[in-house]
C-alpha cells in the first residue's frame, strides 16, 4: 500500500510511505507482547487491529513527543545521559528515513508507535528499549494526536483569515452594488452585495473564535498518565509540557488517556465551518444559474458536461456542499465512538484517527479552494438590480414612510399590502405607480414618496450599526480589517 502525505514538524514535508503487509522471517522480530501468548496473532486479526496504515501520519509528532519524554527521563535520572544521546541520534536517523521514504513500515508492528520504537531499538540497542519507561502507548497516542491537531488548528486559522481577506476585498468593491435580500427565498428588501458577503465574514469570525477556544483544550499534555494510573517513576510532567509547548498537563491520568473531547469538539467546529461554507456554496450555485445570473464563477472552479456542450457546472461549490455531509458524518462517528466507553483507554479510540484526519484534510482543502474561488467571482450588478425591480422590495419602506407620518404600523402595513396588490395587477412596481394612484391608499402620501421607494434610498436609510447602508458596511469592513 502506498500513501503520500504531508507532515508538518515545524516544516512542511512531503514523503511517500509504504506499508508492508508481510515481512520476511529475517525482519520479523519477536512480537512486543509475545511473552504473554501461546500462539501468534492471526493474520486477519493483525490487519484488523493495525493502525499503521493511517496513524503513520503522526510519525513526526510521535518523534517529537518521544524526544521530550526522553529528555525528561534523563533530567530526572531515570535514564542516563548516554541513553538520551543514543535515543536522540536514533530518532534523528528515523526522521530522515521517514522523510526520504526509506523507512519501512510494518503492519506486524501494529501502529506508528511500535514501528518507530522497534526501529529505534534496532539502531541504538538498549537505550531504545528504555524509551518507553514511565510511558504507555495510551498517553503517547493521546499526546501525538494533540500535537497534530494543535498544528493543524494553527494552519486552519491562517486559511480562515485568507478567506476572510478575500471576502473583504470583494465586499469593498460592492458596497453600492444593489441586490435583493431574501427571506424564504422571496425578494424581501434591497441590500448591497457587500452586506451579503459580510454576513459570511461574521460567520467565519465566530468559526475562528471557536477554533481558538478549542485549541486551549487541545493544548494539554497527557504524557505521564502512562497506561491509566500514572507511573511509579519520579517524572516531571510540567517539564515535558514546557518542552512540547503545551499550556499545562491533563490533570487526571484516567481522563488524560481516555479523553477525546478535544477531537470531537474540533470536529464540531469543523462541521460548523463546513456548514457555513455549504450555505455560501448553495447561494453561489443559485446565483450562477441563468435564472439569477448574479455572478459568474471562474472557469477553473467549474466543469463541463460530457453530453451538453453549453454546460458550465459549479462543481466546486457543489462538492463543498457534498463534503459537508462527510464532515458532519465524522462528527457523529466520533460522538458515537465515545458514547459507550468505560474509563479509561479502550481500543475503540484507535478509530478516532481516520475521521479526524479526514475532517482536517477536507476542511483545509475546502478553505484553500474557497478563498481562491471568492477572489475569482465576477459580479453582474445589472442582473442584481434587474431582480430588484421584481418583488416589491421597497414595500417596507413605504410602510415606514407612512409610520413616520403618524400612521400606526399595522395600518400602514395594511395600506401598503393593498398598494402591492394593485401594482401587481397592473404589472408595475410600487415606484412605477403615479402619485394619484399611491394616494388612493393613503392621503398622507406626497411627492417625496418616490425617494423612499427608490432602492438606493431604501439602502441608505438603514444607517445604523449592522445595517446595509453603504456608509455602515464600509465602516464594518474598516473595523474588521483592522482586527485581522
Ligand atoms: N494504536 C493505538 C491507538 O490509536 C495506540 C494505543 C494502543 N494502546 C493499547 N493499549 N493497545 O489508540
Domain spans in the chain, listed from the N-terminal domain onward = 8-133, 142-209+257-385, 390-483
Give the pLDDT of residue 31.
Answer: 67
With contact defined as beta carbons under 8 Å apart, do 180 and 258 qualify? no
Ligand 1 contacts (CB < 6 A) are 51, 55, 111, 137-138, 141, 345, 347, 349-350
Cell match 449592522: residue? 466
**pLDDT, average across residues 443-464:** 95
Q: How many angstroms separate the alpha carbon of residue 361 from the centre of ligand 1? A: 22
Query: Residue 320 is placed in which grid cell?
Result: 463543498
Catalytic option among 253, 281, 305, 442: 305
**pLDDT, average across residues 303-331:** 92
User: For residue 16, is pLDDT > 60?
Assistant: no
Give the pLDDT of residue 11.
Answer: 40
CATH number of 390-483: 1.10.40.30
pTM: 0.93
**pLDDT, average across residues 226-243:** 98
Q: Residue 183 pairs with which residues in a beta bridge?
A: 186
Catalytic option among 56, 100, 184, 276: 184
Give the pLDDT of residue 17.
Answer: 52
Give the pLDDT of residue 35.
Answer: 80
d(CA 179, CA 381): 8
Q: Which CATH class for the 8-133 domain?
A: mainly alpha
Give the pLDDT of residue 248.
Answer: 98
Ligand 1: residue of 141, 146, 344 to mutate (most ligand atoms within 8 A of CB) is: 141
Indicate the range of 306-320, 353-367, 417-431 predicted with least confidence.
306-320
Q: How many angstroms separate the alpha carbon of residue 136 from the centre of ligand 1? A: 9
**pLDDT, average across residues 437-463:** 95
Give the pLDDT of residue 58.
Answer: 98
Please report which confidence band the pLDDT of residue 78 belongs to, taking 50, 70 and 90 as the band edges: very high
**pLDDT, average across residues 230-244:** 98
Please report which confidence band the pLDDT of residue 441 belongs to, taking 50, 70 and 90 as the band edges: very high
Going by alpha carbons, the residue nearest to atom 12 of ligand 1 is 350
Q: How many angstroms separate the alpha carbon of residue 17 from the centre of ligand 1? A: 21
Considering the chain, what percentage of its residues have pLDDT values greater than 70? Answer: 94
Mapped to the 3 state alphabet, what secondary structure does the chain carry?
Answer: CEEEEEEECCCEEEEEEEEECCCCCCCCCCCCCHHHCCCCCCHHHHHHHCCHHHHHHHHHHHHHHHHHHHHHHHHCCCCCHHHHHHHHHHHHHHHHHHHHCCCEEEHHHCCHHHHHHHHHHHHHCHHHHHCCCCCCHHHHHHHHHHHHHHHHHHHHHHHHHHHHHHHHHHHHCCCCCEEEEEECCEEEEEEEHHHHHHHHHHHHHHHHHHHHHHHHHHCEECCCCCCCCCCCCCCCHHHHHHHHCCCEECCCHHHHHHCCHHHHHHHHHHHHHHHHHHHHHHHHHHHHCCCCCCEECCHHHCECCCCCCCCCECHHHHHHHHHHHHHHHHHHHHHHHHHCCCCCCCHHHHHHHHHHHHHHHHHHHHHHHHHHHHHCCEECHHHHHHHHCCCCCCHHHHHHHHHCCCCCHHHHHHHHHHHHHHHHHHCCCHHHCCHHHHHCCCCCCCCCHHHHHCHHHHHHHCCCCCCCCHHHHHHHHHHHHHHC
Please report which confidence band the pLDDT of residue 304 belongs to, taking 50, 70 and 90 as the band edges: confident
Give the pLDDT of residue 30.
Answer: 56
**pLDDT, average across residues 409-435:** 96
Give the pLDDT of residue 21.
Answer: 58
User: For residue 178, is pLDDT > 50?
Assistant: yes
Please report which confidence band the pLDDT of residue 47 belongs to, taking 50, 70 and 90 as the band edges: very high
User: For residue 480, is pLDDT > 80?
Assistant: yes
| Fold of the domain spanning 142-209+257-385 | Fumarase C; Chain A, domain 2 (1.20.200)
Give the pLDDT of residue 450.
Answer: 95
User: For residue 175, is pLDDT > 50?
Assistant: yes
**pLDDT, average across residues 170-188:** 97
Query: Residue 143 is placed in which grid cell?
Result: 499526546
Assess whether 184 carries a catalytic annotation: yes
With contact defined as beta carbons under 8 Å apart, do 169 and 270 qualify? no
Give the pLDDT of residue 306.
Answer: 85
Q: How many angstroms separate the alpha carbon of residue 98 from the centre of ligand 1? A: 21
Assess whether 305 carries a catalytic annotation: yes
Give the pLDDT of residue 374.
Answer: 97
Give the pLDDT of residue 303.
Answer: 85
d(CA 322, CA 369): 15
Establish how many alpha carbons lie within 13 A of residue 191's alpha carbon, considering only the half-sphere containing its beta carbon.
Answer: 19
Give the pLDDT of residue 24.
Answer: 41
d(CA 204, CA 264): 19
Q: Which of 299, 236, 262, 300 is nearest to 77 (CA)?
A: 236
Q: Which phi and psi (to 5°) does residue 313 adopt?
A: -100, 135
Please report which confidence band the pLDDT of residue 19 belongs to, taking 50, 70 and 90 as the band edges: low
Ligand 1: residue of 137, 259, 344 to mutate (most ligand atoms within 8 A of CB) is: 137
Please report which confidence band the pLDDT of residue 49 belongs to, taking 50, 70 and 90 as the band edges: very high
Question: From the centroid of its chain, how far is CA 123?
Answer: 40
**pLDDT, average across residues 128-143:** 98
User: For residue 4, is pLDDT > 50?
Assistant: no
Going by alpha carbons, the residue nearest to atom 10 of ligand 1 is 138
User: For residue 225, is pLDDT > 60?
Assistant: yes
User: For residue 263, is pLDDT > 70?
Assistant: yes
Question: From the centroid of its chain, how far is CA 256?
Answer: 25
Category of 379 on φ-ψ map: left (φ > 0), alpha (ψ -120 to 50) or beta: beta
Please report which confidence band the pLDDT of residue 245 belongs to, taking 50, 70 and 90 as the band edges: very high
Indicate the range of 304-308, 390-394, 439-443 predicted with least confidence.
304-308
Q: How many angstroms separate the alpha carbon of residue 351 from the centre of ligand 1? A: 10
User: For residue 14, is pLDDT > 90?
Assistant: no
Amino acid at each position: 500500500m502506498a500513501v503520500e502525505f504531508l507532515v508538518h514538524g515545524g516544516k512542511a514535508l512531503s514523503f511517500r510511505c509504504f506499508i508492508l503487509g508481510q515481512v520476511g522471517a529475517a525482519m520479523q522480530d519477536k512480537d512486543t507482547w509475545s511473552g504473554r501468548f501461546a500462539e501468534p496473532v492471526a493474520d486477519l486479526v493483525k490487519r484488523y487491529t493495525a493502525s499503521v496504515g493511517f496513524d503513520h501520519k503522526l510519525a513526526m509528532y510521535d518523534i517529537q513527543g518521544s524526544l521530550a519524554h526522553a529528555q525528561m527521563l534523563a533530567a530526572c535520572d531515570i535514564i542516563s545521559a548516554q541513553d538520551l544521546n543514543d535515543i536522540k541520534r536514533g530518532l534523528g536517523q528515523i526522521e530522515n528515513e521517514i522523510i526520504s521514504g526509506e523507512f519501512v513500515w510494518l503492519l506486524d508492528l501494529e501502529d506508528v508507535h511500535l514501528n518507530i520504537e522497534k526501529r529505534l531499538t534496532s539502531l541504538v540497542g538498549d537505550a531504545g528499549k528504555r524509551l518507553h519507561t514511565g510511558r504507555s502507548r495510551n498517553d503517547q497516542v493521546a499526546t501525538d494526536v494533540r500535537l497534530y491537531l494543535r498544528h493543524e488548528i494553527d494552519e486552519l486559522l491562517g486559511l480562515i483569515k485568507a478567506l476572510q481577506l478575500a471576502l473583504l476585498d470583494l465586499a469593498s468593491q460592492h458596497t453600492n452594488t444593489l441586490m435583493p435580500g431574501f427571506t424564504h427565498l422571496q425578494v424581501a428588501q434591497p441590500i448591497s452585495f457587500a452586506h451579503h458577503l459580510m454576513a459570511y465574514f461574521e460567520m467565519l469570525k465566530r468559526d475562528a473564535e471557536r477554533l481558538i477556544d478549542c485549541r486551549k483544550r487541545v493544548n494539554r499534555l497527557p504524557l505521564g498518565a502512562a497506561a491509566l494510573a500514572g507511573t511509579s517513576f519520579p517524572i516531571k510532567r510540567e517539564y515535558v509540557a514546557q518542552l512540547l509547548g503545551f499550556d499545562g498537563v491533563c490533570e487526571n491520568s484516567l481522563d488524560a488517556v481516555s479523553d477525546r473531547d478535544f477531537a470531537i469538539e474540533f470536529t464540531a467546529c469543523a462541521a460548523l465551518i463546513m456548514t457555513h461554507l455549504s450555505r455560501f456554496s448553495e447561494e453561489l450555485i443559485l446565483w450562477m444559474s441563468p435564472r439569477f445570473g448574479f455572478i459568474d464563477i471562474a472557469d477553473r472552479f467549474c466543469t463541463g458536461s460530457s453530453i451538453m456542450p453549453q454546460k458550465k457546472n459549479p462543481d466546486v461549490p457543489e462538492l463543498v456542499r457534498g463534503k459537508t455531509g462527510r464532515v458532519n458524518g465524522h462528527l457523529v462517528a466520533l460522538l458515537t465512538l465515545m458514547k459507550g466507553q468505560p474509563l479509561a483507554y479502550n481500543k475503540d479510540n484507535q478509530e478516532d484517527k481516520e475521521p479526524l484526519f479526514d475532517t482536517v484534510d477536507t476542511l483545509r482543502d475546502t478553505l484553500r479552494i474557497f478563498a481562491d474561488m471568492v477572489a475569482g467571482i465576477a459580479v453582474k450588478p445589472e442582473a442584481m438590480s434587474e431582480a430588484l425591480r421584481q418583488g416589491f422590495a421597497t414595500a417596507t419602506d413605504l410602510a415606514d414612510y407612512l409610520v413616520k407620518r403618524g400612521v400606526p404600523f399595522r395600518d400602514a402595513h395594511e395600506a401598503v399590502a393593498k398598494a402591492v396588490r394593485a401594482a401587481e395587477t397592473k404589472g408595475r412596481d410600487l415606484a412605477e405607480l403615479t402619485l394619484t394612484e399611491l394616494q388612493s391608499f393613503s392621503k398622507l402620501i406626497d411627492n417625496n414618496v418616490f425617494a423612499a421607494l427608490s432602492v438606493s434610498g431604501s439602502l441608505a436609510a438603514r444607517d445604523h450599526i449592522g445595517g446595509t447602508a453603504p456608509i455602515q458596511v464600509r465602516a464594518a469592513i474598516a473595523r474588521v480589517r483592522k482586527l485581522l
